[in-house]
Chain A
Amino acid sequence: DAKTTQPPSMDCAEGRAANLPCNHSTISGNEYVYWYRQIHSQGPQYIIHGLKNNETNEMASLIITEDRKSSTLILPHATLRDTAVYYCIVTGFGNEKLTFGTGTRLTIIP
């Protein structure tokens, strides 16, 4: 599976959009980009995933660059409850294994 690179930490003001970047320059054509988050003392929570098109759900939007070498997770109106560690994971189709890196610790500032 492709390796991902994320900034270790970010801050965002409450009510603003939080944009979390992820680099995955070695991604191959059949590999998906997944985002999970882990709020303190809880199990990881699935947010969104995509292959090459931008995706949106009730939690977030995922923007994948045309060359697929990077992506951005967007939380449109961050709240204090969005404070968590966010993990970007790349995994191949049919591969159920998720390899969690160190993620980005997002802190929402009141």
Chain B
Amino acid sequence: DAGVIQSPRHEVTEMGQEVTLRCKPISGHNSLFWYRQTMMRGLELLIYFNNNVPIDDSGMPEDRFSAKMPNASFSTLKIQPSEPRDSAVYFCASSPQEGHQPQHFGDGTRLSIL
């Protein structure tokens, strides 16, 4: 079975540019999560969706960050404008909504803002 698919795997861009990270969850999973990992702050939850609806975005650092889930098989995390402090590894995860089910993580997008 295909796992969570993230693209791109690596992104290097200059500050001020718009960055779009993409995620395809596991088919049939109803919950989708975006995380950010840095050396200083560790692994942090940014936002999560249930049935394509954002449930909790309290981890989104500021208005420059936005996330959408237009359908059950696709989500984006956008940063506009990007800043050097946004450099991190961004992970997407999905899980079935029912009960206590584990989250399945993608391999992440390593983002570098110059």
Which A residues are within 8 Å of any B CB, using their own CB? 32, 34, 38, 42-46, 49, 87, 93, 96-102
Contact = CB atoms under 8 A, between A and B. Distances in A.
Contacts of B4: 43
A40 B90 CA distance: 14
A49 B101 CA distance: 9
A65 B23 CA distance: 39
A101 B95 contact: no
A46 B45 contact: no
Given A32-B100, A97-B45, A100-B43, A45 B105 contact: yes
Contact of B106 (A43, A46, A97): A43
A87 to B, nearest CB: 8
Given A43-B91, A44-B43, A98-B45, A49 B100 contact: yes
Interface of B: 4, 31, 33, 42-45, 48, 50, 55-56, 91, 93, 95, 97, 100, 102-108
Contacts of A100: 42-44
A45 B17 CA distance: 32
B95 A96 contact: yes
A99 B41 CA distance: 12
Contacts of B93: 43-44
A100 B45 CA distance: 9
Contacts of B44: 100
A45 B104 CA distance: 7
A96 B102 contact: no
Contacts of A93: 100
A97 B48 contact: yes
B48 to A, nearest CB: 6
A42 B107 contact: yes
12 contacts: A43-B91, A43-B105, A43-B108, A44-B91, A46-B104, A49-B102, A87-B43, A97-B45, A98-B103, A99-B45, A100-B43, A102-B42
Contacts of B45: 97-99
Contacts of A87: 43
